[in-house]
Amino acid sequence: MSEEKGDISVTIRLKERLFRFGRGPKFKLKNGATKFVSAKSEASEQSQVNTRDSTAEAPQDVQKSLSLNIADSNETVRVESADPETPEKNPSVTQSLDEPQGSKQTTDGIEPPANLGSDAGQAKRSESGKTVHKNLFSGLFARKQLPQTPTALFGKLPLDALTTETYDVVSPFSKITIASLKELGSGKAYYINEVEPTEIEKEPLNALLEIISKELGPPKNGVDPKSHVESEARRLAKKYGLTKKISDESWPKIMYYLHRNLIGFGDIDVIMKDPMIEDLSVNGVGLPVYVWHRKYESMPTNLIFTNEVILDNLIVKLTHMANKHISTAFPLLDAMLPGKDRLAATFKREVSPKGGSFSIRRFREEPFSIVELVEMGTLNEEMAAYFWLLIENRMTVAVMGGTGAGKTSTLNALASLIKPSMKIVTVEEIPELNLQHENWVQLVARASYGLGVMKTGEVSLFDLVRTSLRYRPDYIVVGEIRGEEAFVLFQALATGHGGLTTLHAESLDYTVKRLTSPPMNVAPTYIPLINVAALVERVQLPNATVGGITFGRRIKSIMEVIDYEKYKTISSWNPTTDSFATDLKESDQLKKIALKHGVSIDEVLSELEARANFIQDLKVKGARKNVELAKHITNYYLENPFPNFAEKEVKVAA
């Protein structure tokens, strides 16, 4: 019995091989002739066996059938196992093979195969073999439909929502709707509306996305990426015969989605192009994306990432755009996107149980100038002139505030007032500062390449601040101090260098406590090296500004550090009238400047008034950009030197 089973298994394996080449198994007929049964004929025989003779006397393992599914074919081939030496055990097979050519089987309308031993039978076998080959290769080489790229979920605006405002982002393809929802307690929500491609447009769009992602090369130097993608898309569409499927009216929509998905930010592209958005936050899978709107503050959006793979792919794309690395081994990221936006991300579920997450803090490509801060009400002309004179005399200014208060923007605007002839060295973890200054050295910290406690290749802020002293700078600007680099910075300030920096703190008292505590460990005797501290906060305004904005950023107070735990308030913001109360006559720092230059305090105050008027004139003229401002400041130094000893000599001679 074991030998019989072995013969059966060998026969089955032989049949499998034969079916790969389009012909059936080999049998011995009653007359001793050898026959090959085609796949199609054998399938017909099996149908006969199933309908006519279901009670054959052969063993079950002999009658077991083998099913082979031809790739991409609807035909299922079944091969009947039989013992070639004892065909009488399976009379149904013997009968069908011995029927004369041309005989018909009327049962169920099935036509049995012809006598394959004759010439006509050979032709029939050949034709059947070709059919199997045709079915096989037609499935292998059939045109396959490209899978549609999965996207995130964009919810629809409810019918009972109350629309507050609607504005275009990329007209006419995308717009934003701000609406009040009942489920949010009449709170605001941010709805993204994009023109969706039709079913006819989706096929060439998906095909182009697939083709371009594989064949698109980098643009040549000086070529706009958008123009490069558009020209290559038209060329590849023509090459692969897709132009017939894209009408002239559909091309602009196709190009919008190509730009959005290839060189843009994908599903969050509309948010990233909205100038009213300050912050974007994705908290995980299945959760709405949140934005911080300049006018309506924090709001949920109708964008939800329902697929974890989509979210992870977007995080990897953002990481590559920032020229950084993220993985399960290194799941944390802090980087800068090409548009100067700050990216913080976590990867997969390594450190964030809800899935990958990221936050993007939006920064302007052209940072705010001091004139623009005056226009927005962050400070007034008199305060700006005060900072200008302090910075010109290498005094140290620290900008304090909480997260999102505007510390970096204020610091960048103040740094633009540094005299053009001075040398600046900036030290940052993430390159956020953007100065219009030629004599400027920019240093950026570098993370470690090692694992665990190893810090191979790490360059910390401490290392950079220490190195900056060898550049002989007039001003050292540290983006933010939070660790041991504070000790080195204060050592530099003690040697006569000017300094600008920011700190996370809600008041000057907490700033001093942070500085004198680990890990900064600045000695209390060094605290007066901070000449002036400015507290910046995001506040609720008593009256809505132009555009209906009800909040803004204000320098709530300016305090001079006289000694450790001894401060003097120079300016304060009045929340009732949205105005500043400034008293510069009692300024100790201005008295130091007067003593340094050998002039009276009245002359210093007169110079401050002249500079305040100069800033007012720039605001009237519309000179808001930092490039223009740098030229005007240079001209001011040439035309109005301070102190003007030559003018004094003329007055004395008269």
Is 532 a domain residue? yes
Question: Is the model's pLDDT at 181 over the cut of 70?
Answer: yes
Instruction: Name the domain count of the chain.
Output: 3
* Residue range 205-216: mean pLDDT, rounded: 91
- The whole-number pLDDT of residue 404 equals 86
* Residue range 237-247: mean pLDDT, rounded: 92
Task: Please indicate, yes or no, whether residues 250 and 291 belong to a single structural domain of this protein.
Answer: yes
Give CA torsion, residues 325, 331, 333, 337, to 10 deg. Answer: 50
Task: Please indicate, yes or no, whether residues 216 and 89 belong to a single structural domain of this protein.
Answer: no
Is 345 a domain residue? no
Question: Is the model's pLDDT at 3 over the cut of 70?
Answer: no
Is 343 a domain residue? no
Task: Please indicate, yes or no, whether residues 15 and 135 belong to a single structural domain of this protein.
Answer: yes
Task: Please indicate, yes or no, whether residues 115 and 197 belong to a single structural domain of this protein.
Answer: no
Task: Please indicate, yes or no, whether residues 86 and 171 belong to a single structural domain of this protein.
Answer: no
Task: Please indicate, yes or no, whether residues 176 and 127 belong to a single structural domain of this protein.
Answer: no
Contact 98, 28 (CB under 8 A): no
Give the pLDDT confidence of 110-166 residue by residue, as tens digits: 444 444 445 555 555 555 555 555 555 555 555 555 555 556 789 999 999 999 999
**pTM of the predicted structure, to 2 decimals:** 0.72
Task: Show which of 82, 108, 140 is a domain's final residue.
Answer: 140
- The whole-number pLDDT of residue 173 equals 96
Is 321 a domain residue? no
Task: Show which of 257, 275, 306 is a domain's final residue.
Answer: 306
Phi and psi torsions of 281, nearest 5°: -135, 120
Residues 6+ apart with CB under 8 A from 398: 500, 501, 502, 503, 511, 530, 532, 533, 534
CATH number, residue 476 = 3.40.50.300
DSSP string, 216-248: PPPPPTT--HHHHHHHHHHHHHHHTT-GGG--T
Is 334 a domain residue? no
Q: Which domain holds residue 111?
A: 2-140
Is 312 a domain residue? no
Give the pLDDT confidence of 350-395 residue by residue, as tens digits: 999 999 999 999 988 788 999 999 999 999 999 999 999 999 999 9
Task: Please indicate, yes or no, whether residues 195 and 58 belong to a single structural domain of this protein.
Answer: no
Question: Is the model's pLDDT at 245 over the cut of 80?
Answer: yes
CATH number, residue 177 = 3.30.450.380
Is 126 a domain residue? yes
Give the pLDDT confidence of 257-300 residue by residue, as tens digits: 999 999 999 999 999 999 999 999 999 999 999 999 988 999 99
> And the tokens for 55?
């009670």
> Can you tell me whether residue 123 is helix, strand or coil?
helix
- The whole-number pLDDT of residue 94 equals 39
CA distance 165 to 170: 16
- The whole-number pLDDT of residue 52 equals 44
- The whole-number pLDDT of residue 7 equals 52
Task: Please indicate, yes or no, whether residues 217 and 74 belong to a single structural domain of this protein.
Answer: no
Q: Among 149-158, 186-195, 438-447, which stretch is predicted with the lowest mean pLDDT?
A: 149-158
Task: Please indicate, yes or no, whether residues 497 and 427 belong to a single structural domain of this protein.
Answer: yes
CA distance 526 to 522: 7
- The whole-number pLDDT of residue 141 equals 53
Task: Please indicate, yes or no, whether residues 34 and 159 belong to a single structural domain of this protein.
Answer: no
Give the pLDDT confidence of 384-422 residue by residue, as tens digits: 999 999 999 999 999 999 988 999 999 999 999 999 889
Question: Is the model's pLDDT at 425 over the cut of 90?
Answer: yes
* Residue range 583-606: mean pLDDT, rounded: 94
Task: Please indicate, yes or no, whether residues 94 and 122 belong to a single structural domain of this protein.
Answer: yes
Is 289 a domain residue? yes
- The whole-number pLDDT of residue 365 equals 77
Task: Please indicate, yes or no, whether residues 242 and 187 belong to a single structural domain of this protein.
Answer: yes
- The whole-number pLDDT of residue 136 equals 52
Closest by CA to 336, choosing from 224, 415, 445, 424, is 445
Q: How confident is the model at residue 529 (pLDDT cuts 50, 70, 90)?
A: very high
> And the tokens for 437?
């200054």
Question: What burial class does residue 74 get, using C-beta atoms within 10 Å of its C-beta: 0-12 exposed, 13-18 middle, 19+ buried?
Answer: exposed
Contact 311, 292 (CB under 8 A): no
Question: Is the model's pLDDT at 78 over the cut of 70?
Answer: no
Task: Show which of 306, 337, 356 is a domain's final residue.
Answer: 306
Q: Which residues of 343-374 are buried (b: 16+ CB within 10 A; e: fewer)?
A: bebbbbbeebeebbbbebbbbeeebbbbbbbb
Question: Is the model's pLDDT at 69 over the cut of 50?
Answer: no
- The whole-number pLDDT of residue 40 equals 43
